Amino acid sequence: MAVKQNPPSTVEVKSVLGYRVEKDAAITDLVSVAVRFTPQHSPAEDPSQLSKTKKKVPDECALAVKALKRVSKLADVDQILGGDKALRDSMFEKMKLLLGTARYDMDAYAVWDAQQ
Q: Mean pLDDT in each 10-residue stretch from start to end of the chain (116 residues)?
A: 85 94 89 94 77 79 93 93 94 95 95 89
- Looking from the CA of 14 toward its CB, the CA atoms found within 13 Å total 6
Q: Give me the pLDDT at residue 88, please.
A: 94
Report the pLDDT value the prediction gives residue 112, as an integer from 0 to 100. Answer: 92
| Sequence-ordered list of residues with C-beta below 8 angstroms from that of 66, at least 6 positions apart, any chain | 12, 13
The structure's pTM equals 0.69
Measure Cα distances from 91 to 17, 70, 80, 96, 97 in Å: 15, 24, 12, 8, 10
CA–CA separation, 75 vs 70, rounded Å? 10
pLDDT tens-digit series, residues 70-103: 999 999 999 999 999 999 999 999 999 999 999 9
pLDDT at 91: 94
Report domain extents, the chain. 1-78, 84-116
Note the pLDDT of residue 47: 78
